[in-house]
Structure 1
Amino acid sequence: MRRVSKITTACLATAALAFTATACGASSTDTAETDSEKLKIGMAYDVGGRGDNSFNDSAARGLDKAKADLGAETKELTAKHGETPADREARLSSLAEGGYNPVIAVGFAYKDTIDEIAPKYPKVSFGLVDSVADAKNVDSIVFTEEQGSYLAGVAAALKSKDGKIGFIGGVDLPLIKKFAAGFEQGVMDTDPKASVKIQYLTTGTDLSGFGSPDKGKAAAQGMLDKGIDVIYTAAGGSGAGAIQAVAAEKGTWAIGVDSDQAKDPALSKYAASIMTSVVKNVDTGVYELAKSVKDKKPLTGTHTYSLAEDGVSLTTTGDHLKDIQSKLDEVKKKIVDGEIKVKTTT
C-alpha cells in the first residue's frame, strides 16, 4: 500500500507528468489484479489419472472445459497404487499452497484427507468427487450411480439372449455396490427369470481393482466361459480389459462406465461390442465448481447429480439401444417421477 501511495504522490507532483504517471500507476495495479484473480485449478486424480478411459477422464473433461472457457491455469497430479494418507495430504497441500483455488480431489479415497486439509486452508475452495466431506469449504460432488445402473440393467435384460448377465466391480466398496445394486434390480425387474453374477476384482483397502486391466479381462473371460453374454464393468481402468475380452467373444455385449467408452480412442476398436456406457458427468460437477469460484460464489455443501438432471445417463453411440429406447425412456420417467425406487445396496 505504501508503494502505491508514493506512486500516486509522484503522479500528482507535476501537472505535466500527471497523465503519464497515473497511466503507469494504473497499469501496474491492473496487472497485479489480473495475476491475483486468474483462476488456477488444481486437480488431484485417483489412481489411473488422465487417460484411464473412465472416471478420471470424465473429470479431466471438466478441467479442459474450464481451461478453455474460463481461461484457467491448471495443474494435475495423480495418485499411485499403494500410497499412504500422507501422500494424499502432501498432494493436496502442495496444490493449496501453490495458489490453486479450487483444489479438486477425484475419488472417495480423498475423503479423510479433505477433512484434514480443507480447514487448514479456509480461503481455498475444495471439491471432492464421489464422497461427502465434513469441512465447510468443500463442494461434495456425488451422483446417483444406482439410477444410471438400473437403466443399464434394463438394457442388459432386454438384449441378453438367455438372461445370463454379469457385473464386475473394481473393489467391494459401498460406492461400487451402488452400481451393482441398481444394475441387478434393473435386470430382475425387467426379466425375473434372469440371473446376475456379481464379482469384485479386489476387496477392502486393496484399490488395485480400479487400475488392473488384466484382472478385468480375466474376470470377464471367466463369466463368458459360463455363458454370460452381457457384462457391465464398474472398475475404472480395469474395465478396458473386460471390454477387450467381451469384444473377442462373438454375440456378447459390454457395458462401459463413467465415460462414453465407445468413443475413447483406446477402446474405439471395440465399439461394436459396447452396447452403452453408464456415464457419470463428473465433468459437469468439476466445471460448475470452477465457474462458481471464478464468479466469487464458491459452491459448498453436497451437490447430487441425479438422473433427473442428466447427472447420470446411458450413451447411445452406435445406436445399439435404438430398438429398446422407448422402453428405456419409459423406465427413466418412472425413476424421475419416483414411481421406481432404486436400491443402493444388494
Structure 2
Amino acid sequence: MSVMKSFLTATATLGLMAGAAMAEPGLIIDLGGKFDKSFNESAYNGAQRWVEETGGKYLETELASEAQREQTMRRMAERGANPVVVLGFANASTLEKVAPDYPETNFVIVDMVVDQPNVQSVVFSEHEGSYLVGMMAAMASESNTVSFVGGMDVPLIRKFACGYAEGAKAANPDVTVIANMTGTTPAAWNDPVKGGELTRSQISQGADVVFAAAGGTGVGVLQTAADEEILSIGVDSNQNYLHPGSVLTSMVKRVDNAVYDAFQAAADGNLQTGVVVKNLESEGVGVAMDEHNADLVTDEMKAAIDEAMMKIQSGELVVHDYTTDDSCPSLTF
C-alpha cells in the first residue's frame, strides 16, 4: 500500500507541476490604457516581446476605474493566470488583501513592495535616472530655469522630481527648478490638457526644458513643449520619437523588462518572490540616446553623464531617494 500511495502522491505532484507549467501569465494594465506611450505601454511592449520570442500566450485586461482593482485581480487569478502581473503602486493595498486568498498563484507588482510570500515586488531606482536627465536639462538650458511636471502627487513621483532637481543643480548650481504636480487623484495620469497648461505656466516663469513624469498626461507636456519651441524630457518609454529635435532625452524605466522577466521566469519555473531592484547598474533605468535626439545631446553632456553613471554605479555618488525619508534637499514642493 505504501508503494502505491507513494506512486499516487508522486503522480499527483507531477500533475500539479505540469498544470503550473502550462499556466498562462496574466497582465493587468493600469488606468490610462496600454497605449499611454509611457508606463503602461512599456509593460505591454514587454509582454508582446515575450510572445514574439517564445510563441507563448498571456491573459490581459485593462482597468477602467479604481473600483475595478480588486475584482479584476481576483478574476485574473481565478482564470488560472500564473503569475498575475499588476502595474503601479496604486495596486499595493489591493494585492495585500488578495494575494493571501490565492496562495498557489504568484503575483508580481511593478512599482511597489508588497510583503507576501507569493509576491514578487519590482521597484526601480528612478531617482538615479532622473538625476542624469536633470544634469542634461541644466546643461541644455539657456535660461537657467528648468521644470518638472508630475502626475499624481505621491512619493514615487516626488522621487523622480527630487532626483531631477539634484542632477540639475549638480550640473549648474545656479539653476532654478520649478515643479508642479497634475493632481492628487488617479485622473492625474491621463490629463494631457492639464499637462499642457502646467507647461505653459512654467514657460511663463522662464523654463526652457521640462521633464514629464506623468503617464498619459506627459503626452500633453511634450506636445506643448514642441509647440512652444522648448525642450522636453520623456519618461518610462523612450519618447524621443514623439517630437524629434524637441525631446532632449527620455528617462527610460525598463518596465518592459520587468514584465518580460516575470513571464519568462515563470515559464522556466524559477520565478522568485521578494523584492527585485532594477537600478542604473542593472540597466533598469537609463537615458535614451538615438537618432531623434542626436543633434541635441552635446559631447559635453555625454561626458558628464558617463562620469556620473560611473560614480553612481561605484557608490561614490549616492543620489538622494525621496521615499527613504520623505525629504528633498534639492527642491521645495
Q: Please give the TM-score of this superposition, normalised by the length of structure 2.
A: 0.88
- The residue aligned with 1:70 is 54
Of residues 297, 306, 312, the one that matches 1:321 is 297
Contact 1:150-1:187 at 8 Å conserved across structures: yes
Do structure 1's residue 307 and structure 2's residue 291 form an aligned pair?
no
TM-superposed deviation, 1:65: 1.7
Letter in 2 for 1:321: V
Letter in 2 for 1:164: T
Give unpaired runs (5+ residues) of structure 1: 1-31
- 2:122 counterpart SS class: strand
Letter in 2 for 1:60: Y
- The residue aligned with 1:20 is none
- The residue aligned with 1:258 is 236
Do structure 1's residue 330 and structure 2's residue 307 form an aligned pair?
yes
Letter in 2 for 1:312: V
TM-superposed deviation, 1:286: 1.1
For residues 81 and 34 of structure 2, the distance between their equivalents in structure 1, rounded to whole angstroms, comes to 19
- 1:308 counterpart SS class: coil
- The residue aligned with 1:47 is 31
For residues 244 and 316 of structure 1, the distance between their equivalents in structure 2, rounded to whole angstroms, comes to 20
Taking a change above 3 Å as real, the CA distance of residues 33 and 147 of structure 1, as seen in their structure-2 partners, is closer
CA RMSD of aligned residues (A): 1.7
Letter in 2 for 1:296: G
Do structure 1's residue 178 and structure 2's residue 162 form an aligned pair?
no
Do structure 1's residue 246 and structure 2's residue 245 form an aligned pair?
no
- The residue aligned with 2:137 is 156
Provide the aligned length of Structure 1 versus Structure 2: 305
- The residue aligned with 2:3 is none
* Cα deviations by residue, 1:207-236 (Å, 9 ceiling, x for unpaired): 111111111111111111222100001000
Of residues 264, 279, 283, the one that matches 1:291 is 264
- 2:316 counterpart SS class: coil
Do structure 1's residue 280 and structure 2's residue 253 form an aligned pair?
yes
* Cα deviations by residue, 1:150-197 (Å, 9 ceiling, x for unpaired): 001100011000210001110110000100010000011111111000
For residues 227 and 62 of structure 1, the distance between their equivalents in structure 2, rounded to whole angstroms, comes to 38
* Cα deviations by residue, 1:228-264 (Å, 9 ceiling, x for unpaired): 10000100000000001000122x100000001123x
- 2:302 counterpart SS class: helix
Contact 1:39-1:73 at 8 Å conserved across structures: no
For residues 289 and 51 of structure 1, the distance between their equivalents in structure 2, rounded to whole angstroms, comes to 21
Of residues 105, 110, 127, the one that matches 2:91 is 110
- The residue aligned with 1:6 is none
Of residues 180, 194, 216, the one that matches 1:215 is 194
Do structure 1's residue 271 and structure 2's residue 244 form an aligned pair?
yes
For residues 76 and 211 of structure 1, the distance between their equivalents in structure 2, rounded to whole angstroms, comes to 20
For residues 41 and 49 of structure 1, the distance between their equivalents in structure 2, rounded to whole angstroms, comes to 19
Do structure 1's residue 224 and structure 2's residue 203 form an aligned pair?
yes
TM-superposed deviation, 1:75: 2.0
For residues 58 and 270 of structure 2, the distance between their equivalents in structure 1, rounded to whole angstroms, comes to 20
Contact 1:105-1:127 at 8 Å conserved across structures: yes
TM-superposed deviation, 1:34: 7.9
Map residues 201-212 of structure 1 onto 2, 5 A cutoff: 201-203=182-184, 206-212=185-191
TM-superposed deviation, 1:36: 6.7
Contact 2:87-2:110 at 8 Å conserved across structures: yes
Q: Please give the TM-score of this superposition, normalised by the length of structure 1.
A: 0.85
Do structure 1's residue 122 and structure 2's residue 103 form an aligned pair?
yes
* Cα deviations by residue, 1:66-116 (Å, 9 ceiling, x for unpaired): 2122332222212234x23xx211101111111111100000011011111
Larger radius of gyration: 1
Contact 2:23-2:80 at 8 Å conserved across structures: no
- The residue aligned with 1:56 is 40
Do structure 1's residue 165 and structure 2's residue 138 form an aligned pair?
no
- 2:277 counterpart SS class: strand
- 2:147 counterpart SS class: strand
